[in-house]
Structure 1
Amino acid sequence: MLGGMPASPSDYRDALGAPGAAAPVCASVIGRFPIAMHSLATLLYVREIDGSYAIAGAVSASLLVGTALGTVVQGRLLDRLGPSRLLLLLVAVYAVAVGGFVACIEARAALPVILLVGLLTGLVTPAIEGSSRALWSDLVPVGRTREAAYTYEAISLETFFILGPALAALLAVSTPWPGTALLVAAAAEIIGTTWFALTRAVRRRSARIRAARASGTLSRDAGLLGVIRRPGLRTVALAALGFGLVAGTAEVGVLAATAFAGSPAMGGILLSAWSVVSVLAGVLYGLRPRPRSLGLRLPVLLGAFGLLVTAMGLVSPIGSLVLLAVVMMAAGALITPQVTAHSLGVERTAPADSATEAFNWVVTAAVLGVSAGQAISGVMIDRFGPAGYAAGGVLGMLLAVVLWTRRETMAGTAERTPARSAS
């Protein structure tokens, strides 16, 4: 994995069956599921209320930008204070904020007000993803089992990035109230994060972090930017940004393309199929990852993904859903391998005591990418029709070129803090 080592099915069983893993794993599935559902649910909700993809994209982007900023800040605090109490506090504030967000949309408040409330809601959305990944350092030993655990995190997170928007799209067209998808996402966030924060493993991790901080043995990356100062981690974050941008444009573009073809409900179905193909391809890819070098893998996978999403945009005006589905499934096969590579990149470039902060930077980059992709896609589709989202694929290919120039930053392995009770 880190060096191209494949994971076997037994490694996944050992990781998921580790003592104390069952409860946080199940809780994190619920809590992490809405990570990409929030944005599309908001976009479709506002689109139904206002009638403009551009305005809906702007509101969705405000939520995602807030989430991105909040994830970075929360990542550092979670590494320093422990996850249990902080996550419970965030859940309470988030419940109030999302209620206010829905009230503003329903009341058709002025756009600047909705954007501000969306930004604030994003800021306090609990960043459970980094905590879920970092917890594995307490649950399983270093080696193939932990690497399999990180791959599970990547595959499951990718499933949520694709299946969440698919569910949002299905709820938007199959329920009488367009805000149903956002309500479902908020409920999952609240229930899953609360359960996760109260599990024994998470409470023990919090106690260890507090003890390490009190004794002065908790290491940290100094400075305002913290761990993102590391060049290798910046490369991983850039790859995640490109991935999110391309995926975000594709999500909105597929919905527009199926509506253009006269079958709007097919958008959710295609996104669901995309998720299935992505997961299956990710498991197969994990058995023999290519390219072996992580520095090469990041640009190659992003470049190919961008190329295929560009092709999706170019075939959308034809109106053939079969042709769109074929190209889309080919693109979907490249999704989970990218997210897995991002997770392994965090393992390679960040110290163990900053694992939550480092992973949250990567999640933040992906969320910002999705935000930009959805906003760009909305504007381009309003102006040029369903082919407009091809622009996101082109931008992804350009970022792949930038990653290629930075491939040497992934050549070495960062000095990592040894696993300790505070990790």
Structure 2
Amino acid sequence: MSAYSSLLRTTGVARIIVAQLVARFPFGMLSLAFLLHVEQVTGSYAAAGLVLAASSVGQALAGPLTSRWMGVWGMRPVLILTVIVCAISVTTVAQVEMSVPWYMGFSFLAGLSTPPIQPAVRTIYPKMVNSKQLTPLFSLDASAQEIIWVLGPVITTFISTQVGTQWGILTAVVIMAIGGTWFIASPEVGRVRIPRSKRKIGQVLKRPPVLLATVVGFLLIGACSALEVGVVATFGHSGLEAGIVLGILSLGSLAGGLALGHIGIGPWALSRRMFIVFAGTTVACFFDGAVSLSIVLFVAGIGIAPALTVLFAMVSSSVKFSDTAEAYGWMGTGQLIGAALGSAVAGVLIDSNGAIGAFWAASALAFVGFLVPLLGKRWHPDLRGRDASPIPDTEPIQVLTS
């Protein structure tokens, strides 16, 4: 814990962590809020899953683009534009009753305009701390973000069930406006300039560690998304059980991140952590009570934040600084495509097999997520005792000779 306390004493670190957490907090609410709202309006989990999938596809397409835009126009202009468009699109979903295709359209637009806060802050971090502090900072960030997933589902479920599903969405919009403004106003956002990348878009995926991180992130978040839909289907939207169980899943992730964050990242780190997620998710298929599910999903959660920490460090250590934002954008795209696939497949399986179908989907995705880094170990950088900072950008130096 001394590493974390040292980090928090570093100028600006605590402020930027809290600001970006508040700015990203709505996205721990919106997927569940959309699910509850659209299912209530349409009466179909499959329809709700399609709407979530549309949002995730929009985010997936936006990730690399908006990340590169920050290198062209600067962080603040891109963040301001996306916060405004996203807030308007999400408000429309909450306030206007539409057919499923229209819900999908506005959900897609909301995803397309998701503010690129995560790529921005991941790019800022290496400029705020020394090289030895970077991996613990990634771990602290991955752990702290679980607060979003602990409180987000509980707050969303409470507001949606006690006040109305549209108010669950509108609450997220208000937090988006407040958190986005706070993050954009942070001095570090104006101080750090992302160099314009000299590579064509997508070239960064040719680096095996970046591709491996993107694929595993796709599978990990796909499993988590399917779990979320399955938990909601198990308990319905008439009480707080679904939000509490999902909050405990995230609490397990928070605990795992803090407990394992100081451990060196070796070539087996990712497969080991994904195995924890797979084991807990598979055991969850055999339980449907709130207490028993909470226990096994807490165990599954122990591997989530540590796995994300490994993914962040893999990407950071494998690319030039000018490519970090795009690399994180692609990693986010993989995760969001996984969320789209997980929620859509889970929704279809729930309609045909009941809530257990979503847990089957989650277990299958988590298993492949364990298998991929196991088979791709040779592409996994060994960061034990190594610097996880990005590769410096260099320019050719002209030498004068007499």
Shift of 1:263: 7.8
Instruction: Using the aligned pairs only, state the percent identity.
Output: 27
Superposition pairs for residues 204-353 of structure 1, below 5 Å? 204-205=191-192, 208-209=193-194, 218=195, 220=197, 222-259=199-236, 264-288=239-263, 292-293=265-266, 295-316=267-288, 320-353=289-322
Runs of 5+ unmatched residues, structure 1:
1-8, 210-217
Range that drifts further, 127-136 or 89-98: 89-98
Amino acid at match of 1:321: A
Specify the alignment match of 2:86 in structure 1.
94
Runs of 5+ unmatched residues, structure 2:
395-402
State how far apart, in whole Å, the 2-side matches of 1:161 and 1:229 are: 32
State how far apart, in whole Å, the 2-side matches of 1:310 and 1:151 are: 26
State how far apart, in whole Å, the 1-side matches of 2:280 and 2:344 are: 20
Specify the alignment match of 2:16 in structure 1.
24
State how far apart, in whole Å, the 2-side matches of 1:66 and 1:204 are: 29
Specify the alignment match of 1:362 in structure 2.
331
Shift of 1:246: 0.9
TM-score, normalised on structure 1? 0.85
Shift of 1:22: 4.3
Specify the alignment match of 1:137 in structure 2.
126
Amino acid at match of 1:114: Y
Superposition pairs for residues 86-125 of structure 1, below 5 Å? 86-103=78-95, 106-107=96-97, 109-125=98-114
Partner SS state of residue 375, structure 1: helix
Contact 1:90 1:126 in 2 (8 A): yes
Shift of 1:86: 1.7
Q: Deviations over 1:247-289 (max 9, x none)?
A: 1111111222234xx9842111122222222212221122446
Contact 2:342 2:361 in 1 (8 A): no
Q: What is the Cα-based RMSD across aligned positions, in Å?
A: 2.4
State how far apart, in whole Å, the 2-side matches of 1:91 and 1:275 are: 26
Contact 2:140 2:257 in 1 (8 A): no
State how far apart, in whole Å, the 2-side matches of 1:405 and 1:281 are: 24
State how far apart, in whole Å, the 2-side matches of 1:48 and 1:401 are: 37
Amino acid at match of 2:129: V
Structure 1 residue ranges, 4+ long, deviating more than 6 angstroms after superposition: 412-415
Rate the CA distance shift 1:224–1:418 in 2: closer, same or farther, 3 A.
closer
Q: Deviations over 1:71-119 (max 9, x none)?
A: 221111123332122211222222322233334xx32x23222212211
Shift of 1:408: 0.9
Shift of 1:140: 1.6
Partner SS state of residue 222, structure 1: coil
The count of corresponding residues between Structure 1 and Structure 2 is: 389
Contact 2:252 2:300 in 1 (8 A): no
TM-score, normalised on structure 2? 0.89
State how far apart, in whole Å, the 2-side matches of 1:120 and 1:379 are: 23
Contact 2:158 2:240 in 1 (8 A): yes
Q: Deviations over 1:278-335 (max 9, x none)?
A: 212221122446xx52x3222232233123212212323xxx3332222122112222
State how far apart, in whole Å, the 2-side matches of 1:410 and 1:101 are: 41
Rate the CA distance shift 1:304–1:412 in 2: closer, same or farther, 3 A.
closer
Shift of 1:416: 4.2
Contact 1:239 1:299 in 2 (8 A): no
Residue 396 (structure 1) aligned to one of 366, 369, 376: 366
Shift of 1:372: 1.6
Contact 1:43 1:60 in 2 (8 A): yes
